[in-house]
Amino acid sequence: MRALTWHGKRDVRVDTVPDPTIQNPTDVIVEITSTGVCGSDLHLYEVLGPFLDPGDILGHEPMGVVAEVGPGVTEVKVGDRVVVPFNVSCGTCVMCGQGLHSQCETTQVHEYGTGASLFGYTKLYGQVPGGQAEYLRVPFGNTLPIKVPHGPPDDRFVYLSDVLPTSWQAVAYADVKPGGSLAVLGLGPIGDMCTRIARHLGVETVIGIDLVPDRLERARKNDVETIDLRQHGKDLADVVRGLTGGRGPDAVIDAVGLEAHGSPVAKAAQQITGLLPDAVASRLMQTAGVDRLGAVYSAVEIVRRGGTISLSGVYGGMADPMPMLQIFDKQLQLRMGQANVHRWSPDILPLLTDADPLGVDDFATHRLPLGAGPEAYATFQKKQDGMVKTLLQPRLG
């Protein structure tokens, strides 16, 4: 089969690799019909190379049709249409029972002290082959895949794999009360969807902050107050307070993560890390901390006293200069973590109807064949061509 594979920094290729096979009785093989390119895939493209090997298959936002089932699978059958959550979670352990599927005890990666394994996301999370491919082996076939109906286009359901639950969790963790206000830092796929979910759930004032014109315009069309960082980078806090009664928003979602602008020293550290041998670089990333914390600093500054910061952007370093005095003084709450897909799916599925309140049917800006994956990564990384969300569709050729 064909698959998108990692070969080095900014080097993603289409390779021919062996087809996946049934390895355990409850495995299923899914023929992929759509698979997203995620903002966190750019961390693999740029920064997390020390935890990847050449040939690793990328991607964690797939859906498709069940092509084969193991002898122990009873809940799906060949021909069923399914979405595959990005968490590799068993659904039956203590953590999964608490709705913490991203902490699944069955698939935790003890070598690195990390949570549940993830599809297509480095040795840190199990080095599980990903879904930017023609076929994918999915374990826990009775509990992990999410069955969806045939009929509507893939766009209706594919975001259940990551974008929708990640954004829903971010808004839920922000916990804005009726009549309250929310600022979202970064209007890429997750930030954009956060604004839509917040508006749907009745947040009165939703502010989107970015510096990419296409993304700002996209948010404005969804009744979001926008702030252009190119114009207000230095007076951002004053502008946000001016929109929120002088106090700042009740909550801030950081939907940027380690791609944040405004952290030149950490950016240089990331670049240096990428030049080191993998064994040295991986230790540096885990202990010295190479994250670019511009978005976190902005969130701490602009949120009101007693407010909440919800982190949905991915961070990779272990030890960073967090502004703990300011966080403590302002009595802030920080909530964060990988999204627990199955925890939020029952809330989201009823919204994936023809009424389309979250605008999923036209959420993708690009739909491309799998073979165009390398160019899609490069375009997305450069924020060019109005690219916000790309779906790769293997059946296109």
pLDDT digits (tens, 9 = 90+) for 339-365: 999 999 999 999 999 999 999 999 999
Supply the pLDDT for residue 315.
65
Domains, the chain, in order of start with CATH, read: 2-162+340-396 (3.90.180.10), 164-336 (3.40.50.720)
Average pLDDT of the segment spanning 249-278: 58
> Residue 320: pLDDT band by 50, 70, 90 thresholds?
low
- Read off the pTM: 0.90
Supply the pLDDT for residue 262.
37
> Residue 150: pLDDT band by 50, 70, 90 thresholds?
very high
Supply the pLDDT for residue 258.
57
pLDDT digits (tens, 9 = 90+) for 186-226: 999 999 999 999 999 999 999 999 999 999 999 999 999 99
Query: Environment class of residue 322 by beta-carbon count within 10 Å: exposed (0-12), middle (13-18) or buried (19+)?
Result: middle
